[in-house]
Structure 1
Amino acid sequence: MTSPAPLAAVLWDMDGTLVDTEPYWMAAETPLVERYGGTWSHEQALSLVGMGLEDSARIFQAAGVRLGVHEIIDHLTDEVMRQLREDGVPFRPGARELLADLRRAGIKTALVTMSMGRMARSVVDLIDFDAFDVVVAGDDATRPKPFPDPYLQACELLGVSPLEAVAIEDSPNGLRSAVASGAASLGVPHMVSLEGAGAHTLWPSLEGRTTQDVAAFHAAHRRAHSDPALAPEEGTR
């Protein structure tokens, strides 16, 4: 039996996983809906976590926002970027430290987000070290999460197989995308529950985690799935 492929890359979701921008999105959503006479609840906001922006925009249209899909996306993106400029990048606990440790260890990294590329790159530019080899954003993906395309595109750009990668996610949609790509998928819950979302493992936080922890998770996952007859059914390309 051949040895499982070693860890070569870690693929990061952005909103809610790397940075705590979900409150920024929610702060932008409510005034937008109210401007057109509608109401927007916390539960409705939570339902959009991890969803592609075009799908989210259509939900806002159904809530009464009389703007085009791309006008809604641009407005919300501008508002979140304004908050980032004013308040800085709110890293999730342990995320910056783990990312820096991965870079020191020579592990390739990608940012895989459904946010617009201009916003994703503005976040990357605000990180005070060379954090990512590639960025795959919502306007880069051939299909949005929960399709596997964003993670498959990131692996292709990095020159690695999904079997050599770990994906880190905080939303059910994101996890479905990561699992379907074939990457070992690590869930770190934040604003919504990840129970039953298909994560290969759940960590309550990234705080105190190191490259060694991620590599150990990846190795254990690959050993468990090295015999196809023993592997649970997972989505593939």
Structure 2
Amino acid sequence: MTSGIPVTETRPARDAGLQAVLLDMDGTLVDTEGFWWNAEVEVFAQLGHVLDDTHREVVVGGPMARSLGHLISVTGTDATLAELSALINLRFVELIGRGVPLMPGAQRLLTELAAHGVPAALVSASHRRIIDAVMLSIGPEHFAFSVAGDEVVQGKPHPESYLHAAARLGADPARCVVVEDTPTGVRAAEAAGCQVVAVPSVAPIEPGPGRAVVASLEAVDVPFLRSLITAVH
């Protein structure tokens, strides 16, 4: 897997509570959910199928195999999962060619994490090729490493990607905070035993034990993240 920093050089934060922050990408740090949906709509339209917005909440935030499996089922297309994945990834890269907008508060939060010495990792359901393209807008220097959806055996909502990221950082999952925007990602983080900050994008997310729901990343800073760990330990 691709990593900006060797595992042996990665250390958890000295803070006795918060040890790491694990961040989703699409819809959380960058406003790309619309790009993904547009790519899917365009590709299916080329194949003679119309996607209406009722399917948008179903496919957002999950691994491509699950999302496309749903769309294949509802459209009855003859295209294979592999064919659709290649076409949609290609169209998405074309759509983001001029860069992608960061979500409000994202740049400030990433800068603040670095200033406080809190390790951060990017954990996404997107494939490596997509992450590397989007990283040009976010800045790879903000992360110890990134985990892509095609680099794990089981994607979100399975906890594998978040457990892997915590292990690489040498952090206890219970002392990690995950920042997510979809119910699928929240389920993955909670299954890993992490505390969660949910910033809903397309689909609504309700508050719950170990889960804080905020309107935007503007409401998230290091003291707030540390308080989530302190509250449960």
Q: Could you say what the CA RMSD is over the residues aligned between the two structures, in angstroms? A: 1.9
Cα separation, 1, equivalents of 2:135 and 2:120:
12
Residue 205 (structure 2) aligns with? 194
- SS of aligned partner of 2:120: strand
Distance 1:52 1:198, change over 3 A: farther
Deviation at 1:16, TM superposition (A): 0.7
Q: Residue type of the partner of 1:216? A: S
Residue 13 (structure 1) aligns with? 24
Distance 1:197 1:37, change over 3 A: farther
2:97 aligns with one of 80, 85, 91? 85
- SS of aligned partner of 1:166: strand
- SS of aligned partner of 1:191: coil
Q: Which has the higher contact order (CA 8 A, sep 6+)?
A: 2
Structure 2 gaps of 5+ residues are 1-14
Cα separation, 2, equivalents of 1:172 and 1:196:
11
Q: Residue type of the partner of 1:85? A: G
Residue 183 (structure 2) aligns with? 172
Cα separation, 1, equivalents of 2:96 and 2:208:
29
Residue 209 (structure 1) aligns with? 220
Q: Residue type of the partner of 2:146? A: V
Distance 1:197 1:39, change over 3 A: farther
Q: Residue type of the partner of 2:95? A: Q
* Percent of aligned pairs sharing the same letter: 33
Q: Deviation string for 1:4-32 (max 9, x for gaps)?
A: 95111100011111111010011111122
User: 1:1-237 maps to which residues of 2 (within 5 A)?
Assistant: 5-62=16-73, 63-86=75-98, 88-128=99-139, 130-195=141-206, 200-220=211-231, 222-223=232-233
Cα separation, 1, equivalents of 2:96 and 2:163:
28
Contact 1:151 1:178 in 2 (8 A): yes
- SS of aligned partner of 1:85: coil
Q: Deviation string for 1:57-90 (max 9, x for gaps)?
A: 222322133322122112212222222222x121
Deviation at 1:37, TM superposition (A): 2.1
Q: Deviation string for 1:160-215 (max 9, x for gaps)?
A: 11022100111111100000101111111111100267761111111153212211
Cα separation, 2, equivalents of 1:73 and 1:117:
13
Moved over 3 A (4+): 196-199
Residue 6 (structure 2) aligns with? none
Cα separation, 2, equivalents of 1:198 and 1:69:
36
TM-score, normalization by structure 1: 0.86
TM-score, normalization by structure 2: 0.87
Contact 1:134 1:157 in 2 (8 A): no
Q: Residue type of the partner of 2:69? A: R
Structure 1 gaps of 5+ residues are 224-237
Kindly tell me the number of residue pairs found equivalent between the two proteins: 218
Deviates more, 1:133-142 or 1:196-205: 196-205
Distance 1:79 1:198, change over 3 A: farther
Q: Residue type of the partner of 1:55? A: R
Q: Deviation string for 1:64-123 (max 9, x for gaps)?
A: 33322122112212222222222x121111112101110121111111111101111222
